[in-house]
Amino acid sequence: MTTSHYIAGRWVDGQGSDCISVNDPALGQPFAELMAVSAEQVDQAVAAARAALPAWKCTSASERAAYLRGFAEQLGQRREALVALQMRNNGKPRHEAEVDLDDAIATFGYYAELAEQLPGQNCDVPLAAPGFTARTRLEPVGVVGLIVPWNFPLVTSAWKLAPALAAGCTVVLKPSEVTPLCELAYGQIADTLGLPAGVLNIVNGKAETGAALSNHNGLDKLSFTGSNNVGSQVMRSAAAQCRPVTLELGGKSAILVFDDCDVDAAVQWIVAGICWNAGQMCSATSRLLVQDGIADALLPRLQAALENLRVGSPLSEEADMGPLTSQAQWLKVAGYFATAREEGLQCLVGGKVLDRGGWFVSPTLYADVPEGSRLWNEEIFGPVLCARRFASEQQAIAEANDSRFGLVATVCTTDLARAERVADALEVGHVWINSVQAVFVETSWGGTKGSGIGRELGPWGLSGYQSVKHVTRCLG
Ligand code: NAD
């Protein structure tokens, strides 16, 4: 493949030593390969972004908005190819791949509008002291390094790329080595739109490339989405240079189901919260807390719903859930099934890998999981749900908050006063009431505690790429 990396407005071959295999997880076989970039090529990408910055940051907001609208439109024009690629490389069923593409399109459209309204640009600041005036300028942070994972490649990159470009930053994007092809569409679109060379650079590679980028002294900011382990390494690199960093990390989120809830609706929310994208979501609601009075009615229906879920190739129109995206993830989830057996957990459904050639596992439910269990506490990143019962609202809140993570939570109850009260008490970045995984570009994304630092989406996503400057003038 000759179109593996996009540096300074040109498509180049990788000159690194790592060969990246691009796999079809439904078959467990590679369908493409590419060479990673070398450290020198990372240097070239950062240098290109640096060279493009002075002109790009002086473009008008409406000019940048026009490019962003172009990204949204061009994504739509590439719909069939991008949906097919996500189905093939991620193992997403068609309807999920469509949702991802629509999310990316909406993100570019939203930041196009926000760019035009850039809040506070050259705003006067009223001063109590006489004899001075002051104004605020919101300036781009500068050259930003964006490092992303594989579970929602188009979306996660759009959440970073769109606000960064809107703010006037230039970018070096490193996609995951598991899904290195999807984001190349952003380079192709940049070409089509005539985005000035160097404003967007895309370098593919493995951990070594990510480390070369995060350690690079030519960046003004890093924005990382991925695991806590790598996130802390990225944070160390940022600390070494006293450079700002945004981190979107892991989760072990709770879904709380109260006695007054409609059982069928709750089952639907619980299944979607753990089986969408085969559970490979930082925001998977993988800890089910169910109130005593409804548990005996709910658990058998949940078990039946998970048993009836159709697991299969994304190419089959019938599949509700596809395979796990990588062999490493499949082995990791299989390891948790073994741990569950060692811990003697009560498995109501699943608990095994499927012998089908690809990286399939069955949707899984463990009941009455002890709070000390590894499966209750660790992020698994697969369709593996652990359930516990609770007696009171206070107990439910305490158990939900008893986690080193704090990304999201779902509250299921018909008592709306309680829903709002519980939502306020949960130590997370986003709470859904009687819905699940509903992410709107106008609301924020990000977590508390070990789930990260900073927020994406909404105006907060844009401000992550802006630097505040004040100009104060003496009138005397
Ligand atoms: P990962 O941390 O292994 O990899 C993420 C990215 O970092 C990849 O591009 C990888 O090549 C790169 N990388 C690896 N080693 C590096 C290093 N030493 N220095 C710099 N970069 C390096 O994560 P993953 O397996 O791709 O993704 C799964 C994780 O991502 C899960 O923990 C999940 O919860 C998290 N995630 C979080 C969010 C969120 O918004 N909070 C969203 C999606 C995924």
Q: State the CATH number of the domain containing residue 467.
A: 3.40.605.10
Q: Do the beta carbons of residue 220 and residue 211 sit within 8 Å?
A: no
- Residue 165, domain member (yes or no): yes
Nearest to 5 by CA among 50, 56, 31, 42: 42
- pLDDT value of position 120: 55
Burial 441-468 (b: 16+ CB within 10 A, else e): beebbbbebbbbbbbbbbbebbbbbbbe
Q: How much distance in Å is there from the Cα of 150 to the middle of ligand 1?
A: 8
Alpha-carbon span 144 to 141, nearest angstrom = 8
- pLDDT value of position 319: 94
Query: What is the domain extent for residue 164?
Result: 5-249+451-474
- Residue 445, domain member (yes or no): no
Q: How much distance in Å is there from the Cα of 213 to the middle of ligand 1?
A: 14
Nearest ligand 1 atom to the CA of 229 is 2
Q: What is the identity of the amino acid at 68? A: L
Structure token digits, residue 443: 């609301």
Other Cβ atoms less than 10 A from the Cβ of 127: the count is 11
Split into its structural domains, the chain has a count of: 2
Residues 261, 244 share a domain: no
Nearest ligand 1 atom to the CA of 329 is 25
- In the numeric block, the tokens 């401000």 are attached to 463
Q: Which residues neighbour 178 within 8 Å (Cβ) at sequence distance 6 or greater?
A: 23, 89, 149, 150, 325, 326
Residues 226, 261 share a domain: no
Residues 178, 107 share a domain: yes
Mutate to test the pocket of ligand 1, among 90, 103, 176 (most ligand atoms within 8 A of CB): 176
- Residue 446, domain member (yes or no): no
Alpha-carbon span 186 to 11, nearest angstrom = 12
Residues 206, 299 share a domain: no
Q: How much distance in Å is there from the Cα of 394 to the middle of ligand 1?
A: 34
Which residue has the least CA distance to atom 36 on ligand 1? 226
Residues 376, 351 share a domain: yes
- Residue 408, domain member (yes or no): yes
Residues 40, 170 share a domain: yes
Residues at CB less than 6 angstroms from ligand 1: 147-151, 156, 174, 176-177, 206-207, 210-211, 214, 225-227, 230, 233-234, 248-251, 282, 379, 381, 407, 451-452
| Beta-strand runs (E) in 312-407 | 346-349, 364-367, 384-390, 405-406
Provide the annotated active-site residues. 248, 282
Residues 188, 170 share a domain: yes
Residues 353, 220 share a domain: no
- Residue 324, domain member (yes or no): yes
Residues 412, 273 share a domain: yes
Q: Do the beta carbons of residue 135 and residue 121 sit within 8 Å?
A: no
- pLDDT value of position 119: 56
Q: How much distance in Å is there from the Cα of 418 to the middle of ligand 1?
A: 36
Alpha-carbon span 288 to 103, nearest angstrom = 27
- Residue 370, domain member (yes or no): yes
Residues 313, 231 share a domain: no
- pLDDT value of position 123: 86
- pLDDT value of position 476: 86
Residues 340, 233 share a domain: no
User: Angle CA(153)–CA(13)–CA(143) in degrees, nearest 5?
Assistant: 55
- Residue 195, domain member (yes or no): yes
Nearest ligand 1 atom to the CA of 451 is 41
- pLDDT value of position 254: 98
Q: Do the beta carbons of residue 134 and residue 471 sit within 8 Å?
A: yes
Per-residue pLDDT of the chain (476 residues; tens, 9 = 90+): 446 999 999 999 999 999 999 999 999 999 999 999 999 999 999 999 999 999 999 999 999 999 999 999 999 999 999 999 999 999 999 999 999 999 999 999 999 999 988 755 778 999 999 999 999 999 999 999 999 999 999 999 999 999 999 999 999 999 999 999 999 999 999 999 999 999 999 999 999 999 999 999 999 999 999 999 999 999 999 999 999 999 999 999 999 999 999 999 999 999 999 999 999 999 999 999 999 999 999 999 999 999 999 999 999 988 999 999 999 999 999 999 999 999 999 999 999 999 889 999 999 999 999 999 999 999 999 999 999 999 999 999 999 999 999 999 999 999 999 999 999 999 999 999 999 999 999 999 999 999 999 999 999 999 999 999 999 999 98
**For position 319, which CATH number holds?**
3.40.309.10
- Residue 303, domain member (yes or no): yes
Residues 184, 309 share a domain: no
